[in-house]
Each structure stands twice: as C-alpha cells, then as structure tokens.
Structure 1
Amino acid sequence: MDSNTTAEDGQVIRQSPDRYLAGLNAATIPQGRLQLSGIGLRIAELHDELLAWYRCHNAMLPVAFLPPEVLTYIFTCLALVDIPYTRYSRGSLGWIQVTHVCHRWRTLALQSPSLWADFTFLKGNGTETMMERARQVPLRVKMESTYDGISRVLHCIRGRGSQLGLLDLRINTPHRHEAPALEDSLILSACPSLRHLSLKEIFLTWEGLRLSTLVSLKLTYYWVDDTGADRGRRLPTLTTFVSALREMQNLQYLALHQAIRPLDAENTADLAPYAVLPHLSKLSIRFEVPLMLALLQHIDVPLEAEIRVEVRPLLYEIPRHDIGLLLDLLRAHVIAGQPLSIPSIHLRIELNMGHGRLPQVSVTARPLGSLDAAFIAVFPFQSSYQIRDFIHLPELICKLPFAICCSVELHAVYTSSDYDSYNVRQWTSLLKNVDLQLPDVHTLTISVNHPPPLISLLECCPKVMPELESLVIHLYRIRKYENIQAAVEVLSSCISRGLPLKTLELHVHESDGAVIKLMQQHLKNTVPEIRYVKDLT
C-alpha cells in the first residue's frame, strides 16, 4: 500500500487512497482517463481479494465442516418443501436461495444435477436454466393448473422428451370442448426414459406407443356422456389400450379412471389382445361395469397384486349380471392366491350412508396380517333409495370369498339422522336375506350406531359363525340404552347356546359411560376377557 507506483501508464495503483488522492495531477481529460483506468483495476483487485478473504472466513465457520454429501442431502430435503414459484409480479426462488449464500454452497448445488430436475416456472429464462443444470438427470415435470397453464408447460418441455423421467400433468378446471394433447413427437421421444406418467384430462395418441420403461401409469378423465361424445372419441379403444399395455412389462402401478372409450359397436372386446403384467402390484380402475369386466378379462396380473375397482355411480338399471361376473373375477383372484385348506382372508363389508356424499357399498378382502388388500370393490349409488330397492344385493354379497375367511368386518356408517330408521330396516333385512355360512371365522368386527342391526347380527352368530372366539364392537353415540340391554341379553343367550366366545372388545365414545357399566354388570361372569377402548372420534 505504500508503493509509489502511479497510474500514468495504466498500471494498478499501489498507493493508499489518501496519498494517491493528494498526488493527483491530471491536467487533461486523457490523463484523467488513464488514472481512472488504474483506479478501476485496483478496485477489481481489491474486490477479488476481499472475496477470497470472505471465503477464508466462511471456511472456518462450524457449518463449513459439514461433509459435502451431508450438505447436498440438506439441499435435497429443502428442495422438497421450499418450492420456487412465480405468481404475477411476486414470487420466490425457494430453495434456490441457498446458491446465494456462499461460494461453496453454490458450487455444491451446481454440481448436483438432481436438485434441478424438478420442473418449475421461473421468470425470464429461469425455467430453461434449471432444465439445463439438470444435465442428464431425468426431468420430473409435475403440474396442476388450468388449460392455459398446462399448455404453457407443454411448450416449455417441447424438444425435451428424451430427458423426461416423470410426467404428471393435471387440469383442475376441465373444459368440455378444450383439452390439450401431448404431441406425438414428445411422447415418442420420451419412450426410452419415461418411468412415471400421470395425466388428467390430457389426451395422447396410443397407437404404436412402446412405453416399455413405464413403472407407473395413471390416467384420469371425467365421465363421458352423450353431450361429451366427441371427447370420448379421443380416448383409446379397448383393443388399442391393451395392445399398449403389452409393451409395459415393467409396470408396477396402473390407475385408470374412465380412460378407455366406452364399449359400443365400434369398440368391442372381441378383438382385444391379452396383456400379461408380471410386475404389477396395484391396479385401480373406475369404469362402467361392462368395460371394467372386459378389461379384467384381457389382462393378467400377479396373484399378490391389489385390485381396486370402483364402478360408475349406479343409476336406475343396476347391471346385476355384470356385477355378479365382476365379483366372480375378484373372488377367483383372492382364492387363487391363498391355500384353501387354511382360511386366511380378512373380509370387510361397509355400507356408507354419509351425509353430503353418494351412498355406497364397499368390499375389501386382504390376507390376514397384511396391510395390502387382495381387492377392493366400491359400488356407489345415486341415492339411498337405490340401495333399499336393490333386492339382488344379498345374492351378490354371497359371491364373496367367505369360504376362506377367518376374520370378517361389517360396518354400517351413517352420519345423517334422516336415514336412521331406514338404515336399521335395511341392515336387518340384509342379514335375514343373506344365508351366510362362515364356519372358519374366529374374529368378527361390527361397527354400528344403532343397536337393532347389532342384535340381528348377534342372533345369527351361533348358526353362521359357530367357531367365533373374538368379537369387536364399535358403537357410535348410542341414544337408546334399552336396545343395548337387549343386545347384551342376546349375546348372553348365544354364549349359553354354545358360542365359544373368549374375548369381547368394546369401542365406545367417552360420553357413553353407561354402556360400559351395563356391559360390566351383565357380562363379567359370561365372557372370559372384556376389553374397553375409548373412541375419541
């Protein structure tokens, strides 16, 4: 700093600013420009030196001793929760702000392509810069937006099909006459790299597609009625879609919601091929019953796969024959995966009459001790009266795999008091009409909020379930305790008639203390073990 070097020849100044300022002697503009050049060079040199000292300072901070892989992991976690976004004139860089903290953090982030693989809308050329920084890492494009927003996404990823690893696009406000479509060039170029594909209200051409690398596929479209027939024409036929499935030998998850054109004279199941999906672990489909039945008859899934079917809300004409065939297929699937000599299936039947939603009957079957279901079947109705008038329901329930059941759950969930009297009659009628034979069932779980169905169930136990050892009862806000007393008397009568009940588990609300007291008074000398569980819901 004490050097006497001047800037007359454009060299870097080595004097202190005060001494240099006192010795300024520029008489002309060119001489002033020459000295100004030397000052600029000195400022740049000092700036670089200052940055170097800042890096030395940061290198001695405690956080600097974290290994690079730990910092990178922290950045990865942050990127999952602090997502960049752009909204009108406002926005946030989110996790990208870590690249502005220090030189080391920025270098680490830029050397981690996976951090930049999530597609994000940024101002200017920020989106393009992020995709370039991802380099060879497959891009994850996930966006839920309007028609215009999705169209903008498709424009941004045009020409990057070979870089796509995940494509999840959903239109949240679909328009009857406007629905974007994936360009053929985009989806064809993505065939070698795409592993996850999820589309909602976005169409694509399925003819000739070979998505052999797909691991998961989810397609969601709204129900196509007569007024939307033109949209239905954009869906693939059963033959076309099953042909595409044949190429997806690595597929593990498949979810379809009205993703195939409804069956008609031009779209029949007769010419459809047969697709084997050896690695599929979960299948979820929502269609009209005939189309659902046709699809299940043309694909082969592993015995351990979970199958969930939810039919289109049933109108006035209930396809009794087709629903029967559908349940036959599901029963065959669960029976094929279990030894008949050892009953090992847990079966759950639920009648849901919740207020504000469609009433439905759902059936779940799963291997005992497993969290994964063998199949789930959901049958929604347009009104509660349809369930009441559906006289074939008992016949269809008998098609369930009771022969290999060792545990059964029966649930009647009603959240509206308007249906109370009807619900009681419906369940009681159902129990009387269904000739159930469950000789190997050892555990029965019942959930009701009215005792009469419970009484009907208990009356059937000695005949239907002669080996019953464990009974679990969920009672919700009981108002008529005389009915509970009647249920207790029926249970005592069943035990006296030889029902080998060893355990009774009662789930009641904390406000139903009188129910617990009643049970203790009448059953403490009848059932060897009684457990009480407080239900806080």
Structure 2
Amino acid sequence: MLESLRPELERRGLEDDILRITQTLVARKKSLNALTPSHCLPPEILTEIFALCVDAAVTRSEDDGLYSSESDPPLTSPYSWIHIIHVCHRWREVALQAPILWCNIIWTPAVNIACVSAMLERSKQCLIRVTVLAIDKPGRCPAFPLLKRILAVISGHLSRAVSISITLPGHMWRRLPRINCSDLSNLTVLSLSSFGFNSKTSTIFNGRAIPNLRYLSLSRMSLNWGNPALRHAKYMVKLVLNTVVTKAILTTLMELTGLRHLDLSGAFTVFDNAELEALSCHIPLPHLTFLRLSGGSLQITHLWRTLDIPTSTPVKLEFKVNDGNSLNLPTSSMRVAHKLKEMFNADKTHIQSLSF
C-alpha cells in the first residue's frame, strides 16, 4: 500500500520544492534589482526622476504656505531638490545638462539673485514658470531694491514664460517699474496679487497683447478693463477677479465666449438702479462649468440672471450683508426664486449645484 503511494508523495514533494525555489528566485531578483547601482541608469531615466523631485519640492512648498503673505517661511524650500546634484559627479552632470529641471523660477527675498540668473541660463530655451513674492519682514533688508534687481534679471526671459505669478504689497505695486518685454505670446497663466490693501494694477503689462492667455487671476488690484490682457483673449477659459467689478465686465464677458471658470468677488458696481429693475441684456457663456459671485446681493443676483449658462453649471452666490442695505436681501431672494423657476422650466434634470 505504501509502495503504491510513494510516487505520488515524491511528486508532491518535488512540486513543493519547485514552488519554494520559484518564490525564492523571484524574491532574490527583486532584491537584485533594488541593488542595481544608480550609475547604471541611463541619463534619460535619471532626468525623469529628477523632474519628479522638482515637481514634488515645488508642490510641498506651496502646501507649506510659500505664497501666503501672512505665513511663516515654508517648512520646505522649492529648491530643496538641488541637494540631489551634490550626491555624485555624474548626477550633477546629468542635472546640469537637463534644461527642464531649471524652468521653475521662484524668487523671494531669501533667494539669492545670482542663483536665479544661473537657473535662467541652465534652462536654455525651454519655456519657464516665474513666481515672485516680495515681503518686507522685520530684521531683513528692504525687499523693494531686491525686487527691482530680480525683475531686471527676469525681464529678458519673459518671452519664454508660460506662467507668471507676482504677489507684492500695495506700496510696491505703485512703485514697480515697467518691464521691458515685447513678446508675451507664450504666456497662458497670469496671476497678480496685492496684500495689505487694494492697489492699482501695475503698468508692467499694459499695452502688450497676451494672445494665448488662458487663465487670469487678479486679487485686490484695481483693473483697467481696456487692458489687452482682458480684451481679445479669445482662448481664456478661467477668470478669477477679487476687485472692484464695474459695468465694463459685461463687455469683457461678451468677448470671452469660451470661458469655463468664472469667479468674481469684491465691490460690484455693474448695474445702476434703473438697470436692476429689468434685464437689459443676456451674455452667453455656453461652456461655463463653474460660477462664483461674491458681493452685494442685488448686484450679483442680477448679474447671475444676465448670464446665459448651462443649467448643469454649479453656481455659488455669496451675499455680502454689509453691502449697504440689508433690505436688499428679500428682493434678491425673490430674484433668485425667479431665476430658479426659469431653470426648472428649462431643464430641471441637469441642475447640479446651487449654494448661498
């Protein structure tokens, strides 16, 4: 009986041995791959790894509050990734020969201007993203002289900029010199912000067309609605304004028919009392996927009714109760109800979101 079972037992034992050896072989291969020396990696793969390090460092510094005027210095620097080029001579050579790694130009008064100059040189002819944040802090040198120097360094390269973000105190905006740049055709993102108090929009970009601008953000900046950055921006898909919103916004929105994201907040003076009594125009925004209006209740509800947008567009209305007359709220509520009735009658199945 045992003799007849022996071949089967031997077969099972061999199968178990083969399975165990196979599992050991797979584990050893994984360990071997993990121990492959970095100097065996081709430059292309090293460059891709370094690029991921750059993106991660910039993202962490943003999350830590690099661009917040009221925060402490971020826990991580957007340039912390540069330590990897000190690992060995080969890594340094690969990084220095990869222009894509040097395209995120981020300057604060804590960043040496010579370092920015070196980065611009190493980026060669690649498109760049520029972020400037100047804050006067106790115990430090005044930021404005450094700001003028860095703008002089950067201005010669702005024709390569796809993104420009500048955040300054109001008093610096008023003193900011004009930037000498005749070509902004590569620029798709422009963000200008003032903190402390409202400031006049700098003249640095006035008179210059930005034909491919897709995203414009202005915070606490008074606005020249005739600025070429707003007019004739046929590719703009996102507009975020925290400023005084005047009647000129209607003409601007008429031209931005491809707009997908609209966020307006601040003091609204779009309609006079007579215009608030009746709809005088309709502005078609057929591609809009998000709308936020924050301001005086009568003004923003009337503007909302003026916009001809898809019923599926999420809408957020924020009424400012200190807009001068709390008695406006009942009237505003009636107009909201009227607009909702129109939406329900048009297509109630596609209404996604409406919040107050």
Please state which band the TM-score falls in when normalised by the shorter chain. Answer: 0.5 to 0.7
1:188 counterpart (177, 180, 192): 180
The answer on whether the counterparts of 1:249 and 1:278 sit within 8 Å (CA) in structure 2 is yes
The alpha-carbon deviation at position 123 of structure 1 amounts to 5.5
1:120-161: CA deviation from partner (whole Å, max 9, x where unpaired): 555594443333322333443313331443642441341442
Which amino acid in the other structure matches residue 130 of structure 2? Answer: V
- Where do 5+ consecutive residues of structure 1 fail to align? 1-59, 193-210, 264-268, 339-344, 353-359, 407-437, 449-537
2:164 is matched with which residue? 167
The question of 1:248 aligning with 2:155 is answered no
The question of 1:134 aligning with 2:126 is answered no
1:37-86: CA deviation from partner (whole Å, max 9, x where unpaired): xxxxxxxxxxxxxxxxxxxxxxx94333333222111101112233699x
More off after superposition, 276-285 vs 104-113: 276-285
The question of 1:218 aligning with 2:204 is answered no
Query: Structure 2: how far apart are the matches of 1:77 and 1:179?
Result: 34
Matching of residues 210-289 of structure 1 within 5 Å: 211-221=184-194, 232=200, 244=207, 247-257=209-219, 259-260=221-222, 275-289=231-245
2:55 counterpart (71, 74, 80): 80
Query: Structure 2: how far apart are the matches of 1:395 and 1:80?
Result: 49
Query: Structure 2: how far apart are the matches of 1:285 and 1:124?
Result: 31
1:254-288: CA deviation from partner (whole Å, max 9, x where unpaired): 2344544589xxxxx9xx9x943321212233444
2:81 is matched with which residue? 95
Which amino acid in the other structure matches residue 70 of structure 1? Answer: I
1:294 is matched with which residue? 248
Query: Structure 2: how far apart are the matches of 1:277 and 1:395?
Result: 35
1:359-410: CA deviation from partner (whole Å, max 9, x where unpaired): x9796986366xxx4x85745314499555534214543674854x35xxxx
Greater length-normalized contact order (CA 8 Å, ≥ 6 residues apart):
2
Which amino acid in the other structure matches residue 240 of structure 2? Answer: S
1:155 is matched with which residue? 149
The answer on whether the counterparts of 1:218 and 1:254 sit within 8 Å (CA) in structure 2 is yes
The alpha-carbon deviation at position 168 of structure 1 amounts to 1.8
Secondary structure in structure 2 of the residue aligned to 1:214: coil
Matching of residues 377-526 of structure 1 within 5 Å: 378-383=317-322, 386-387=325-326, 389-394=328-333, 396-397=335-336, 400=339, 403=342, 405=343, 438=345, 440-442=347-349
Query: Structure 2: how far apart are the matches of 1:262 and 1:123?
Result: 34
RMSD of equivalent CA atoms = 5.0
The answer on whether the counterparts of 1:113 and 1:133 sit within 8 Å (CA) in structure 2 is yes
2:28 is matched with which residue? none
Change (3 A) 1:170 1:286: closer
Secondary structure in structure 2 of the residue aligned to 1:96: helix
The alpha-carbon deviation at position 178 of structure 1 amounts to 4.8
1:317-367: CA deviation from partner (whole Å, max 9, x where unpaired): x95545567x765x5314xx39xxxxxx99999999xxxxxxx97969863
- Give the number of aligned pairs: 286
1:107 counterpart (85, 90, 93): 93
The question of 1:65 aligning with 2:40 is answered yes
- Where do 5+ consecutive residues of structure 2 fail to align? 1-34, 67-72, 137-141
TM-score by length of 1: 0.42
Which structure's CA Rg is the greater one? 1
The answer on whether the counterparts of 2:293 and 2:318 sit within 8 Å (CA) in structure 1 is no
